[in-house]
């Protein structure tokens, strides 16, 4: 093995260092264990290897690593994002190994749920463990390598002290890293001891002018348009951070970095894309139109990371904004749909009021189920395909809440979407609640889960055939995923029979609009 | 002593330093977990140092500090008006 020199290696394991065939949603398969196929095949579908140059620098890399890389380069450090398959050649000469991950140990939803349901460890945690067990890392530790880990799942290390110690992780950073990362790197270069753990509080997050612009392509062209969220949902950690809107010129600069490196599609990232430029929760149609015109000018395909259902309804009812945005999105004649992740969380207005009182604004929380249905209808009419989440096991959840959630899922059947139920993991201000790995799954949970399953199966084939994997190049992937869906359908029916449940009707596939 | 005391005093940063005679032993994190996860407002830094550096650090203390120590462990540190000692 030849060695090369970089002082600071930024990397992560394969499940994160992948563009998931250019289909961000396929990355969610990395949150599950391999089901009905060998792990290698599962990994190929969920997280194929990233193309690299001869130095092992990946074509695309996680946005957070790209931000850190830019910060370090701007400050004169010798740093680079390296593909996990190539780190061995750099480790003997490196001073610092910096890691980031969305879900190091598969404790976040939906990984934790697949783990509980299947009793098998998801591939993201397996892949990360394989990476950390590398002999080259162990050897480099003996020679003084410092390991700093961060990212949105940094809190999970507090539950994995044995591995923290075993792998010789020096510092865990929980929170936005721009300010603290430089301090830590300076300490390493000055041979000063590192802290064990750092939590970056809301008052220490960076201002816009402290956030660097990426220098190399991010995975699937992800570009941040906002940080933080004003809705204050109790289960969410993002909402704890100060709200910042990234200026349009900075967004365009990053999009152009991606496009110049061949990443021609883009994913606008925010906890609520429709709040871009908003004053509090009052939408700013002008800012949103400008944002999408900018994206249209530069990108082939546009996607959103997240949007809130109340904002979707508000945008359309007040300004016809969803229709206008989709006219812009489709104006080049090639893009036919837009994907987004949305949070239903519960069908119970009572529970919504307790855990997410601002999520329904500007509408009253009492009408939460109607808001959800209206937003789904608006998205369906405009070819926006949501992957929706539900949270099961929330504190103070009652069987009646779950019945209402099940009823809401039934009402959502006519609308093209995927619905994924997830077990509650205490994040945000609820993260001090006693966390469970021994989930008590009730009959009502099962009713909600199987409704989600059949809803998603009902729509998945339509989405795959007509939108998501409809191009000839996606044929192998399409065949594999359809085979997987057949397996899930068979398994689902088998489990229903075993539990003595009356099958939920699965009508014939509807004709897509 | 609760972290909320610091929060209510508009302190935005807290440093928790563990003086330990076993270098590299991070088992104390187990006891800290709940506190760290409970916190959402303050910036927190957790550090560890050899126990024999405690006296020197106390002598040159610049910020307000609380020394929490086991009542089964005799600590001989110089008294200073910047530091409060709590035995647990």
Q: What is the ipTM of this complex?
A: 0.88
Q: B10 and chain A: CB distance < 8 Å anywhere?
A: no
Structural domain contains residue A91:
yes
- Residues A129, A199, single domain; the answer is yes
* Interface mutation vs chain A, best among B44, B50, B53, most A CBs within 10 Å: B44
- The parent domain of residue B81 ranges over 3-87
Per-residue burial over B53-81, b if 16 or more Cβ lie within 10 Å, else e, is ebeeebeeeeeebebeeeeeeeeebeeee
pLDDT number for residue A238: 57
Mean residue pLDDT of chain A comes to 89
User: Mean pLDDT throughout A335-345?
Assistant: 93
pLDDT digits (tens, 9 = 90+) for A353-371: 988 888 888 999 999 999 9
Q: Are A385 and A466 in contact (CB under 8 A)?
A: no
pLDDT number for residue B1: 47
- Residues A161, A299, single domain; the answer is no
- Residues A228, A153, single domain; the answer is no
Compute the nearest-CA separation of B81 from chain A (Å). 26
- Residues A356, A404, single domain; the answer is yes
- Residues A197, A278, single domain; the answer is no
Nearest Cα residue to A15 out of A110, A102, A118: A102
Confidence band, pLDDT 50/70/90 cuts, at residue A435: very low
Contact B41 A193 (CB under 8 A): no
pLDDT number for residue A433: 46
Residue with tokens 């993002």: A238
Compute the nearest-CA separation of B32 from chain A (Å). 9
- Residues A454, A386, single domain; the answer is yes
Which of A162, A180, A204 is the last residue before a domain boundary?
A: A204
pLDDT number for residue A434: 45
pLDDT number for residue A495: 85
In the numeric block, which tokens belong to residue B24? 């590299």
- Residues A266, A373, single domain; the answer is yes
If 0-12 CB within 10 Å is exposed, 13-18 middle and 19+ buried, where does residue A123 land?
buried
When CB atoms are compared, the residue of B29, B43, B48 closest to A199 is B43
Contacts of A450 (CB under 8 A, 6+ apart): A492, A496, A501, A504
pLDDT digits (tens, 9 = 90+) for A23-54: 888 888 899 899 888 999 999 999 999 999 99
- State yes or no: pLDDT of A1 exceeds 80: no
Q: Which residues of chain A make contact with B37, given a CB cutoff of 8 A?
A: 155, 158, 426, 431-432
pLDDT digits (tens, 9 = 90+) for B40-70: 788 999 999 988 888 888 888 888 888 888 7
- Residues A255, A322, single domain; the answer is yes
Structural domain contains residue A512:
no
Split into its structural domains, chain B has a count of 1
Confidence band, pLDDT 50/70/90 cuts, at residue B10: low
Which of A204, A231, A255 is the last residue before a domain boundary?
A: A204
Pairing relationship of beta strands A244-245 and A226-227 according to DSSP bridges: antiparallel
Q: Which residues of chain B make contact with A426, given a CB cutoff of 8 A?
A: 37
- Residues A260, A191, single domain; the answer is no
pTM, two decimal places: 0.88
Pairing relationship of beta strands A171-174 and A146-150 according to DSSP bridges: parallel
Integer-rounded Cα radius of gyration of chain A: 22
Q: A166 and chain B: CB distance < 8 Å anywhere?
A: no
Other CB atoms within 10 Å distance of the CB of residue A158: 18
Residue A1 or A331, more confident: A331
- The parent domain of residue A288 ranges over 217-469
Compute the nearest-CA separation of A431 from chain B (Å). 6
- State yes or no: pLDDT of A90 exceeds 90: yes
User: Mean pLDDT throughout A161-180?
Assistant: 94
Contact A201 B42 (CB under 8 A): yes
When CB atoms are compared, the residue of B33, B38, B45 closest to A198 is B45
pLDDT digits (tens, 9 = 90+) for A267-313: 999 989 999 999 988 999 999 999 999 999 999 999 999 999 999 99
d(CA B61, CA A480): 64
Structural domain contains residue A488:
no
User: Mean pLDDT throughout A175-202?
Assistant: 93
Contact A200 B36 (CB under 8 A): no
- Residues A153, A64, single domain; the answer is yes
pLDDT digits (tens, 9 = 90+) for A106-148: 988 788 878 877 888 999 999 999 999 999 999 999 999 999 9
Q: Which residues of chain B make contact with A203, given a CB cutoff of 8 A?
A: 12, 43
Structural domain contains residue A78:
yes
Contact B26 A428 (CB under 8 A): no
Three-state helix/strand/coil letters over A343-384: EEECCCHHHHHHHCCCCCCCCCHHHHHHHHHHHHHHHHHCCE
d(CA A389, CA A456): 12
Q: Which residues pair with B60 in a beta bridge?
A: none
- Residues A112, A238, single domain; the answer is no
pLDDT number for residue A440: 74
Contact A199 B36 (CB under 8 A): yes
Split into its structural domains, chain A has a count of 2
Confidence band, pLDDT 50/70/90 cuts, at residue A219: very high
When CB atoms are compared, the residue of B12, B29, B30 closest to A203 is B12
Q: B53 and chain A: CB distance < 8 Å anywhere?
A: no
- Residues A294, A324, single domain; the answer is yes
Q: Are A452 and A421 in contact (CB under 8 A)?
A: yes
Indicate which CATH number applies to the domain containing A374. Answer: 3.80.30.20
Contact B47 A196 (CB under 8 A): yes
Q: A201 and chain B: CB distance < 8 Å anywhere?
A: yes
Pairing relationship of beta strands A79-81 and A8-11 according to DSSP bridges: parallel
- State yes or no: pLDDT of A511 exceeds 60: no
Three-state secondary structure call for residue A276: coil
Cα angle A53, A55, A57; round to 5: 60
CB pairs under 8 A between A and B: 69
């Amino acid at each position: 093995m030849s060695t090369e020199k970089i002082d600071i290696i930024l990397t992560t394991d394969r499940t994160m260092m992948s563009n998931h065939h250019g289909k961000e949603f396929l990355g969610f398969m990395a949150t599950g264990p391999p089901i009905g196929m060998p792990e290698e095949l599962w990994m190929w579908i969920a997280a194929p290897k990233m193309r690299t140059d001869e130095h092992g620098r990946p074509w695309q890399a996680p946005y957070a690593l790209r931000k850190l890389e830019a910060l370090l380069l701007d400050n004169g450090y010798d740093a680079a994002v390296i593909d996990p398959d190539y780190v061995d050649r750099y480790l003997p000469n490196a001073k610092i190994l910096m890691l980031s991950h969305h879900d190091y140990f598969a404790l976040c939803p939906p990984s934790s749920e697949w783990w509980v349901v299947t009793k098998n460890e998801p591939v993201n945690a397996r892949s990360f463990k394989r990476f950390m067990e590398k002999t080259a890392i162990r050897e480099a530790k003996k020679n003084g390598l410092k390991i700093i880990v961060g990212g949105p799942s940094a809190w999970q290390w507090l539950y994995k002290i044995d591995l923290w110690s075993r792998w010789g992780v020096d510092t865990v950073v929980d929170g936005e890293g721009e300010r603290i990362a430089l301090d830590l790197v300076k300490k390493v270069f000055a041979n000063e001891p590192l802290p064990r753990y750092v939590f970056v509080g809301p008052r220490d997050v960076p201002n816009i002018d402290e956030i660097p612009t990426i220098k190399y392509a991010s995975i699937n062209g992800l570009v941040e348009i906002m940080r933080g969220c004003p809705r204050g949902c109790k289960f969410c950690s993002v909402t704890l951070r100060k709200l910042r809107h990234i200026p349009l010129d900075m967004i365009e600069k990053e999009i152009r970095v991606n496009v110049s490196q061949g990443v021609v599609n883009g994913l606008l990232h925010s906890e609520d894309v429709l709040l871009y430029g908003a004053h509090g929760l009052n939408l700013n149609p002008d800012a949103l139109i400008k944002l999408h015109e900018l994206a249209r000018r530069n990108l082939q395909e546009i996607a959103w990371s997240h949007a809130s259902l109340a904002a979707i309804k508000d945008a359309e009812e007040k300004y016809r904004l969803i229709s206008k945005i989709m006219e812009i999105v489709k104006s080049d004649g090639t893009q036919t749909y837009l994907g987004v992740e949305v949070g239903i969380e519960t069908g119970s207005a009572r529970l919504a009021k307790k855990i997410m009182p601002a999520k329904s604004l500007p509408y009253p929380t009492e009408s939460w189920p109607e808001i959800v249905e209206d937003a789904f209808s608006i998205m369906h009419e405009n070819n926006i395909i949501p992957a929706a989440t539900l949270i099961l096991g929330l504190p103070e959840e009652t069987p009646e809440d779950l019945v209402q959630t099940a009823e809401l899922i039934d009402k959502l059947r006519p609308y093209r979407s995927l619905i994924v139920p997830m077990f509650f993991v205490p994040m945000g201000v609820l993260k001090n609640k006693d966390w469970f790995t021994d989930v008590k799954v009730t009959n009502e949970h099962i009713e909600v889960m199987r409704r989600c399953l059949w809803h998603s199966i009902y729509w998945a084939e339509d989405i795959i055939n007509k939108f998501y994997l409809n191009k000839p190049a996606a044929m192998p992937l399409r065949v594999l995923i359809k085979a997987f869906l057949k397996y899930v359908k068979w398994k689902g029916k088998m489990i229903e029979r075993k539990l003595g449940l009356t099958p939920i009707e699965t009508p014939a596939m509807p004709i897509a609009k | 002593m609760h972290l909320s005391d610091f929060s209510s005093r508009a302190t935005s940063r807290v440093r928790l330093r563990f003086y330990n005679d076993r270098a590299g032993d991070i088992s104390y994190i187990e006891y800290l977990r709940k506190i760290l996860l409970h916190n959402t407002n303050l910036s927190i830094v957790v550090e560890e140092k050899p126990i024999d550096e405690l006296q020197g650090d106390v002598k040159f203390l610049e910020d307000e500090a609380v020394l929490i120590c086991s009542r089964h462990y005799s600590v001989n540190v110089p008294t200073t008006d910047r530091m409060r000692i709590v035995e647990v």
